Each structure stands twice: as structure tokens, then as C-alpha cells.
Structure 1
Amino acid sequence: MADRITVLVVEDEAKIAGILKDYLEKSGYRAVVVDRGDAALDHVRRNPPGLILLDIMLPGLDGMSVCREIRSFSSVPIIMITARVEELDRLLGLELGADDYICKPFSPREVVARVRAVLRRSVASSAVETGTIFRVGHITLNPETRQVVVHGREVRLTPSEFGLLKTLMSRPNRVFSRAELIGAVQGYDFDGYDRTIDSHVKNLRKKLARHLPDCEVISTIYGVGYRLNAAVEK
């Protein structure tokens, strides 16, 4: 089936890779397995997938480095797979631009569910009403073209960052709770996800600050959540 979404599985443990491939293909995806980090970069450049399942511990080039490099030229959804349980390691992956993470040991069904959720969010963020363009100050977001422009320059965002900014720009000055942002951006919940939203906000702020260095675009409302300031630099 030529129209199946391709999921690139970057995993050097053959047994795990085989299980993921089987479950993904039974769920209607096309799964391609690569067992080295450096080979994954070459593959993504030649044959861009619909989503990447990326292990952290890899030969050739570690998953963190692979994620960082991919984010320099692509916004393809990335789900990190890690055996490290430390929260710092998980958040580092998110700060490098990953959309989600899952820890070993895991249920293959859970991985497929995460894949579906991330892809559904990516599609939903562009499947909006025709003609709706959001503008706040010098920031313009076009859901149809999935473009964000600040001061006339395009800003490349991951699917999670794009969905987050679209939600905030839909109601400038409104405070969105973390729970609301989780629902709007991810559509599901799991332990620790408050911190994941925080990581996505941090990444989004950095990207916007490159073009609006003297402006607080997104404010933190401690104990509640975040808001996009309507008085963005005029």
C-alpha cells in the first residue's frame, strides 16, 4: 500500500526492532529499521519518513545527537525511546526537539498508541478551517501552510511547538493551564507530562526570541500555566 505512513525505527537491539516493526505493520504503517545513528541521518535525508522512533543508545551516533541534527533540517515528528529513567535525560531529548518519549521496558501496543497520537496531532494541526490565519504583533501563523513568520522570517517549529503556538495565539492574553495545553497539543496524558509541556514552551520561546529578543512573547503564570501576550512588540 503506497499510501501508508512510513515509521523509521532507529534501534540497534534486533529483537526490540523486530517487535516494533511487526506491531507497526500490523497497525497499518510501513516500518523501516535502521540500527545505527549515522545511518539514520543518511536515511532521513534520502527518504523522509512520516515519524521516527529513535533510541538514545546507538552505535555510530547517539540518539541525542541524531535528534539535534535532524532538527537542523526537518520537523518530522520524533519519539525518543530510552532505557534511562532519569527525568533529566528525558527532558534533554525534548529540549533537543523530540515530540515525545517512551521508556524501556514498554508495551509495543503503547508505542503504537503514542505513534498514532503524535501523527494524529500533526495532521490535526494542519486540518483547520480554510482562511484562518493567526496574527499577534509581528507573529503570523498559517495553519494551512504550517508556516510561522516573525518579522518576515520563517520560524521552523516541530509539530508540538506549532500546535502549542497555535493554541496560545487563538486566544491572546488568555491563560491556558498545562492540562488544557496537554489536551490541545497532545490529546493524551501520562505521568510527568507537565514537565514535557514546559520543555516545549522553553523551546518555543527560544525560537521566537531569536526574532523578538526584547519581548516577552509567552508569560508563565506560576501555578496555572502560560499565556501569549497580545502586546507583542508593535
Structure 2
Amino acid sequence: MARVLLVDDDTELCALQAEYLRAEGFEVEAVYDGEQGAGLALEGGFDIVVLDVMMPRTNGIEALRRIRARSRIPVIMLTARGDDIDRVLGLELGADDYVPKPCTPRELVARIRAILRRAQGTPGPRETQVLGVGALCVRPEQRRAEWQGRLLELTSTEFNLLEVLARCAGNPVSKNELSEKALGRPLARYDRSIDVHVSNLRAKLGDLPDGRSPIQTVRGIGYQYIVS
């Protein structure tokens, strides 16, 4: 049974979400400020954190910053609908996905399950292989990736994206396919999530000897991991 940490100062909404999640088979603990939420997330014992952006004391962005400094636990941000600045900032800091508020409990459950399925799913036969593309080595069964022999510190979503791109190395992959396989949802109109996650991946990978990023933009389509 997956354990979910809800961090939101809206106690009424939090209670509603917690009740729905429990009915769907999750264990849930709810706290109402970012400082306490970050502390509990870092203590371990949870499989995923649902973190609201707007909170007193320590807001969701600062809480996420503290969590990502020490943990790769999956994090879904709750953001005000249309608040692109907080949304992009959260993704840049390492959030795995976001859900615009107000959202239905059903949508939140679907997002949680999609992230957990990809972070903790049982590997199948095709996933036991080691994917080697130039200086990149991806080990799907262990959910580990190395670049030039160096272990990469990736979020769950970043790993998913990198695995998809590595499996398709040399061929372009559409943003919608990346969203479906890494986030478990179709890419919404004006959604910049994939672009931000790819930007984070590029920063962590660094450049090839010729100065290019190993992840190239394919205009009008998406992205391609190049075979060097």
C-alpha cells in the first residue's frame, strides 16, 4: 500500500483528498505547512508527496527546494490554475509533475498512480537490459543512469524521460509520446512540463566533446537523443 504525504494549508480540501485517497487504497498523512511537510518527507516512509505551492511559513517552492537537496522522492505540486511562474519554477526545482487547483480527487489519484507506476513498477523482460548510448548507461531495472561513468541524480520523471530517449536514440520522439510515457498523461495545450524536464536533464548531462547537448530539439516534433 503506497503512502502519500499531503501538504496543504487548506484543511477542508486536504481532508477531502485524504478521504478519497484512502478509499482508493492509499495510506495518507496530511500536514498543513511546508516546513513540517519537508521535514516529514525527508524522514522517509512515504512513497510520494503532494505539495501545495501557496502555504504559510514555508511555502511549497521552498519546501520542494529542501526536499530535493536531500531526496529523490516523487513530488507532485498543486498550483493555482494559470500560475505558470510557480509551475515552471517547481518543475525546474525537480517536481515530477503538477496538478492545477482546483482539481478533482479523481484527477489527483490518476496523477499519483501514474508517477508511482513509473517510479516503482515491476520491470518486465525488456527492461532488464542495460541501455548504452555513447557515454550514457541506463539501467532500467535499477532505475539508475550514468553519464561518463558518473551516477546521475535524477527525479523519477527525469529518469523516465531519459530512458525513453535512450531507447529511441537516433530517432525523434514527440513531446506527446514523452508525456504519455514519462508522466502518464497526454500533453495538454501550452503545457511546458516536458520542455522544463528536458532542460533539467541537459544541465545534468552536460555537453558532448563537440559542445552539443546529447539531447537535441527536433523542431515541430520533440526531442532526440543523438548517437555520437
TM-score class, shorter:
over 0.9
Q: Which runs of 4+ in 1 moved over 3 A?
A: 210-215
Residue type of the alignment partner of 2:123: A
Q: Deviation at 1:212?
A: 7.3
**Per-residue Cα deviation, 1:127-182 (whole angstroms, up to 9, x for no partner):** 14264001111111111111111222211111111011001111211111112212
Q: Are the aligned partners of 1:150 and 1:211 in contact in 2 as well (CA < 8 Å)?
A: no
Q: Are the aligned partners of 1:52 and 1:79 in contact in 2 as well (CA < 8 Å)?
A: yes
Q: How does 1:210-225 map to 2 (within 5 A)?
A: 214-225=211-222
Q: Are the aligned partners of 1:128 and 1:143 in contact in 2 as well (CA < 8 Å)?
A: no
Q: How does 1:47-126 map to 2 (within 5 A)?
A: 47-83=44-80, 85-124=82-121
Q: Deviation at 1:190?
A: 5.1
Q: Are the aligned partners of 2:207 and 2:213 in contact in 1 as well (CA < 8 Å)?
A: no
- 2: CA distance between counterparts of 1:7 and 1:81? 14
What RMSD over aligned residues (CA atoms) do the two structures have, in Å? 1.9
Matched, 1:34 2:31: yes
User: Which of residues 98, 123, 126 in structure 2 aligns to 1:127?
Assistant: 123
Moved more, 171-180 or 77-86: 77-86
- 2: CA distance between counterparts of 1:183 and 1:49? 25
What is the DSSP-based 3-state SS (H/G/I as helix, E as strand, rest coil) of the residue aligned with 1:59?
coil
What is the DSSP-based 3-state SS (H/G/I as helix, E as strand, rest coil) of the residue aligned with 1:9?
strand
Distance 1:194 1:82, change over 3 A: closer
User: Which of residues 140, 146, 164 in structure 2 aligns to 1:143?
Assistant: 140
User: Which of residues 152, 157, 163 in structure 2 aligns to 1:155?
Assistant: 152
**Per-residue Cα deviation, 1:24-81 (whole angstroms, up to 9, x for no partner):** 1000000001111111121112234111100001222111111122112211111101
Distance 1:212 1:183, change over 3 A: farther
- 2: CA distance between counterparts of 1:212 and 1:200? 23
Q: Are the aligned partners of 1:9 and 1:54 in contact in 2 as well (CA < 8 Å)?
A: yes
Percent pairwise identity? 37
Q: Mind listing any 5+ residue stretches in structure 1 that lack a counterpart? A: none
Q: Are the aligned partners of 1:11 and 1:34 in contact in 2 as well (CA < 8 Å)?
A: yes
Q: Are the aligned partners of 2:131 and 2:167 in contact in 1 as well (CA < 8 Å)?
A: yes
- 2: CA distance between counterparts of 1:152 and 1:192? 38
What is the DSSP-based 3-state SS (H/G/I as helix, E as strand, rest coil) of the residue aligned with 1:38?
helix
- 1: CA distance between counterparts of 2:7 and 2:210? 37
Q: TM-score, normalised by structure 2?
A: 0.92
Q: TM-score, normalised by structure 1?
A: 0.90
Matched, 1:164 2:161: yes
Q: Are the aligned partners of 2:49 and 2:74 in contact in 1 as well (CA < 8 Å)?
A: yes
- Give the count of matched residue pairs: 227
Structure 2 equivalent of residue 184 of structure 1: 181
